[in-house]
Structure 1
């Protein structure tokens, strides 16, 4: 394994001029470069967050949700009113075509909270300015801890289908965006302004949510899906388990990564056939690769070398990145059909390229990552990008 394979960075608040000098040599170059490349966008996003008021799911309520005001609710993406029925019920499926009339407010609030907290944490990481920490606590308190406004730690009513079901296991993908919040909290908790009690309360929320994921009917259904949904599910479990210190869950995540995702979902050439079979094969392939790379990053350490793991037919993360990288560099060479929606918006700055550049010591992946647009403007793509501040993932 090369010297960039594992990211072990002892975190301290850093002034911008001292960031590069204070990093261990094994991650010095890449982390300093990311700080330099992203500095302006981090500070711009943090400025917006500093001027914003906390938003929570209790601000919005769907009339058809069977849950209470603190229960997250959303509709299935590709479900539309039946035009042959006067009331449109039950909804019918149009794969790959998002219904713009769906109730989407809780999704938006969750992503916006993530965006703000991640930006504030990244800004604190590169500047050491404690005011970013104070502001982040308002967002975290409102969304996770305040009894009046918190989101309850479950997703019983996610991706409901009017006329069919009040909520589905498939809806657990909605909280994929929460994976960046523990990374942000870990950075912010290095400040004296971040109360240790708050850290423990936040860890408890994520422990409770993980327990619901692993024990509920909806959660068990989603855990056994055979495509990107399972990867997103176990990526969440892995991040939350690492945050809360649950080694048992991490062991299961590593087994799933090897036996289910590498061996069963990946083809020998590194592609993901179930994603290629969808009506948005390019976007789904990018989404899957990013989440697989993030899962590999979270689960890898000196004992568990998942970046270099390969099965008996050569399936591996290296092969997956090598398969898709040429089509990220030049989408016009994509040999499959174009996506039915948001084709023009892809690719964005795919986190898989950054993580692979470190794991494999490949400068070409890093250079390609730098060239791509970091902040997609199309909402369909925004909701399929789980990492907004990659510098947070380079610290431990």
Structure 2
């Protein structure tokens, strides 16, 4: 069903990407970064110069992204996350070597080749001028590597040599270790909102790629015992997301992240997609809460987002994963009807799963 729905979309995109060579962060030196050429750098979105002290530390304006921030590293990582999975999906559909070869070229450029690879950490992500050279919140930036890792797990030796495949896995194994052991990684893991879900989704999918079953089991335990009880209300809503200046987008974002996490953890028992607490809280309850507002945004009962409200909703992977898991054709039909390729930059930044063919 997913292949039939997305086949033409996938092939059209992949044909467009065949002419675009891999580009990594090393092509864009970040003068504001405290790191080096191979270190990913970004600035915290919602921080701006202080009008009362223009040369002093930046101040927070929640929900309002600063357009003057350095964005090149994010931009090329997002491009990787769009192009490489689309090429992989096209290769799976057609078997054409040109798609698979270029997908493998992206992996080599980012994670293998010494001259262009990224260092496997995020020490300098979401920096705040005059305050911090990097913050734990920045780990959410590599959410765009989740589908890259998923795609990498599907490429065979036909297009990726055993040596290169081992090198890619070594990169993700090292990055997973940094997520699990570094102070920023542990702080993000212990967050009380969507950041913890995004940490878990990354860690789960990277662990899946490198066959780290112990990490997958531990992530699932944290989801069941910590994240789900502390983040979801009995009605399936996410109270901490509803208090933000973008309650609609953050609610959808956390739902999609939670659904993708459960999809990544498939194979563990009890089934992550069907798991629920004693009071019924689980992915099914979250889908029941959000579905009416994805179907009809005008029914949304909370504040409108301060930015980009008109660009939502887009195609929600959570709808697909929940629809398949719970045999709910309404969810799947709505998923089919929504825009799969948003053009709004802010929506794209919070939209890491674009090729569900790789997931189901």
For normalisation by structure 1, the TM-score amounts to 0.89
Number of the residue aligned with 1:176: 143
CA deviation after TM superposition for structure 1 residue 322, in Å: 0.3
3-state SS in 1 of match to 2:125: strand
Number of the residue aligned with 2:106: 139
CA deviation after TM superposition for structure 1 residue 302, in Å: 6.1
CA deviation after TM superposition for structure 1 residue 132, in Å: 0.9
Work out whether 1:195 is the aligned partner of 2:185.
no
Number of the residue aligned with 1:78: 46
Conservation of the 8 A alpha-carbon contact between 2:43 and 2:125: yes
> In the TM superposition, what whole-angstrom CA distance separates every residue of 1:44-95 from its partner, at most 9, and x where no partner exists?
11112110011110111221210000000000010001111142x2000000
Partners of 1:300 and 1:187 lie apart in 2 by: 16
CA deviation after TM superposition for structure 1 residue 182, in Å: 1.6
Conservation of the 8 A alpha-carbon contact between 2:217 and 2:268: no
Partners of 1:192 and 1:118 lie apart in 2 by: 17
The 1:302/1:166 distance shift into structure 2, 3 A limit, reads closer
Number of the residue aligned with 1:358: 324
Stretch deviating more after TM superposition (49-58 or 133-142): 133-142
Conservation of the 8 A alpha-carbon contact between 2:81 and 2:352: no
3-state SS in 2 of match to 1:188: coil
Number of the residue aligned with 2:58: 91
Number of the residue aligned with 1:345: 311
Find 2:119's aligned residue among 144, 148, 152: 152
Partners of 2:9 and 2:161 lie apart in 1 by: 28
> In the TM superposition, what whole-angstrom CA distance separates every residue of 1:300-355 from its partner, at most 9, and x where no partner exists?
32633122222122211111000000000000000001000100011100000110
Q: Give matches, 1:1-396, under 5 Å.
A: 33-87=1-55, 89-189=56-156, 191-301=157-267, 303-394=269-360
Partners of 1:291 and 1:240 lie apart in 2 by: 15
Cα RMSD after superposing both structures: 1.0
Stretch deviating more after TM superposition (38-47 or 320-329): 38-47
3-state SS in 2 of match to 1:54: coil
Could you list the runs of 5+ residues in structure 1 that have no partner in the other structure? Answer: 1-32
Could you list the runs of 5+ residues in structure 2 that have no partner in the other structure? Answer: none
Partners of 1:140 and 1:332 lie apart in 2 by: 42
The 1:148/1:293 distance shift into structure 2, 3 A limit, reads same
CA deviation after TM superposition for structure 1 residue 268, in Å: 0.3
Partners of 2:84 and 2:312 lie apart in 1 by: 25
Partners of 2:283 and 2:196 lie apart in 1 by: 17
CA deviation after TM superposition for structure 1 residue 251, in Å: 1.2
CA deviation after TM superposition for structure 1 residue 260, in Å: 1.6
Partners of 1:314 and 1:262 lie apart in 2 by: 11
CA deviation after TM superposition for structure 1 residue 193, in Å: 2.8
Partners of 2:356 and 2:275 lie apart in 1 by: 24
Number of the residue aligned with 1:12: none
For normalisation by structure 2, the TM-score amounts to 0.98
> In the TM superposition, what whole-angstrom CA distance separates every residue of 1:228-247 from its partner, at most 9, and x where no partner exists?
00000011000001110111
Moved over 6 A (4+): none
Equivalences, count: 360
